[in-house]
């Protein structure tokens, strides 16, 4: 294949299907007929994610595999439909791009942009914490993407370090992924479905109260605290302990770590 044709095919390797309905997945016999499947990269709300390469286009990507057997619950089916609809609507440099939707008899497959640096939790575990400058660079990207989503009346509802992917091992470029709990919202109507990851949940969700898209901002505050200190602001040995910490405790800004950080950083987290 001529190099120019290969480039054109690579450029066209995006937005290949209609995202409005999760039943619009293109039927295939086996995912291995289309993609070379590699190692597992992680797990999302509805399935696992593997490294892959499109056989014809020789383009690297990530494949999210969603087992059809796991979507028997109506709520899960609706969440998945929301996820795909939202991915089809969003186009932002700090949101992972989706390329293609496929299905076989057992699974749905979502082909996505490949982020080689893993998730931000892995980076934190290696680095322990980031400088204020680096943290500001990361959080600015996250806030820009969330602002874009909120303006489109979309809320993520599962913002956490595991859902922020790094471009590569050395880059501070991050993108939001895993829209399994995302949904469109009415600015004049609260939401009430209790979901998310305990460490990052806003108090309204913990207490099963009505909430709005501001729960994403709470979660970003938790993310910022962890990026700067290497520890979560609210924790405990069990989910109930974490929830009680969220309900009754204030973030701790003592010790040598926070003593070396500016008041601006602390005020931003608050």
* pLDDT tens digits, 156-187: 999 999 999 998 888 899 999 888 889 899 99
Pair (128, 255) in one structural domain = yes
pLDDT digits (tens, 9 = 90+) for 34-65: 999 999 987 765 678 899 999 888 888 999 89
Pair (127, 100) in one structural domain = no
Is residue 108 scored above 60 in pLDDT? Answer: yes
Final residue of a domain: which of 87, 112, 137?
Answer: 112
If you search the block for the tokens 């992924």, which residue do you land on? Answer: 177
Given the residues 119, 158, 178, 216, the one annotated as active site: 158
Q: How far is CA 46 from CA 84, 95, 109, 151, in A?
A: 12, 18, 11, 26
Pair (182, 223) in one structural domain = yes
Pair (199, 235) in one structural domain = yes
Whole-number pLDDT of residue 77? 77
Helix (H) or strand (E) holding 9: helix 3-11
Pair (187, 152) in one structural domain = yes
Angle at 101 between CA 116 and CA 219, to 5 degrees: 55
Task: Examine residue 192 and state whether it is found in any structural domain, yes or no.
Answer: yes
Is residue 2 scored above 80 in pLDDT? Answer: no
21's tokens: 């309905």
Q: Is 158 a catalytic residue?
A: yes
Task: Examine residue 136 and state whether it is found in any structural domain, yes or no.
Answer: yes
Final residue of a domain: which of 112, 134, 161?
Answer: 112
Task: Examine residue 33 and state whether it is found in any structural domain, yes or no.
Answer: yes
Contact 86, 179 (CB under 8 A): yes
Mean pLDDT value of segment 17-40 = 78
Pair (207, 241) in one structural domain = yes
Task: Examine residue 246 and state whether it is found in any structural domain, yes or no.
Answer: yes
Pair (97, 124) in one structural domain = no
Pair (260, 133) in one structural domain = yes
Q: Tell me whether residue 27 is exposed, middle or buried, using C-beta atoms within 10 angstroms of its C-beta: 0 to 12, 13 to 18, 19 or more.
A: exposed
pLDDT digits (tens, 9 = 90+) for 3-21: 565 556 556 565 554 444 4
Pair (215, 126) in one structural domain = yes
Pair (57, 104) in one structural domain = yes
Strands (E), the chain: 26-27, 35-43, 47-54, 59-67, 98-103, 107-112, 154-155, 164-166, 174-176, 183-184
Task: Examine residue 82 and state whether it is found in any structural domain, yes or no.
Answer: yes
Average pLDDT over the chain, rounded to an integer: 87
Q: What domain range includes position 172?
A: 120-269
Q: How far is CA 4 from CA 1, 58, 83, 158, in A?
A: 8, 14, 34, 41
Number of domains comprising the chain: 2
Q: What is the CATH number of the domain that holds 246?
A: 1.10.510.10
pLDDT digits (tens, 9 = 90+) for 59-88: 889 998 988 887 777 877 777 777 878 887
Final residue of a domain: which of 112, 130, 157?
Answer: 112
């Amino acid at each position: 294949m001529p190099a120019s044709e290969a480039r054109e095919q690579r450029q066209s390797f995006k937005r290949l299907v209609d995202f409005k309905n999760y039943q619009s997945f293109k039927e295939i016999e086996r995912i291995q007929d289309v993609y070379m499947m590699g190692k597992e990269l992680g797990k999302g709300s509805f399935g696992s994610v593997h490294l892959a390469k499109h056989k014809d286009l020789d383009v690297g990507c990530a494949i999210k595999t969603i087992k059809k057997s796991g979507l028997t619950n109506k709520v899960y089916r609706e969440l998945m439909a929301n996820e795909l609809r939202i991915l089809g609507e969003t186009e932002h440099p700090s949101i992972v791009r989706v390329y293609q939707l496929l299905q076989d008899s057992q699974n749905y497959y979502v082909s996505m942009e490949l982020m080689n640096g893993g998730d931000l939790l892995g980076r934190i575990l290696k680095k322990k914490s980031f400088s204020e400058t680096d943290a500001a660079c990361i959080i600015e990207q996250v806030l820009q993407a969330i602002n874009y989503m909120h303006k489109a009346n979309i809320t993520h509802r599962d913002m956490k370090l595991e859902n922020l992917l790094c471009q590569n091992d050395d880059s501070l470029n991050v993108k939001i992924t895993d829209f399994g709990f995302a949904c469109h919202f009415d600015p004049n109507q609260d939401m009430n479905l209790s979901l998310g990851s305990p460490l990052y949940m806003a108090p309204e969700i913990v207490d099963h109260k009505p909430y709005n898209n501001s729960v994403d901002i709470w979660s970003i505050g938790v993310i910022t605290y962890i990026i700067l200190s290497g520890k979560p602001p609210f924790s405990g040995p069990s989910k109930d302990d974490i929830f009680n910490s969220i309900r009754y405790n204030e973030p701790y800004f003592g010790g040598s770590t926070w003593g070396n950080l500016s008041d601006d950083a602390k005020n931003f987290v608050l």
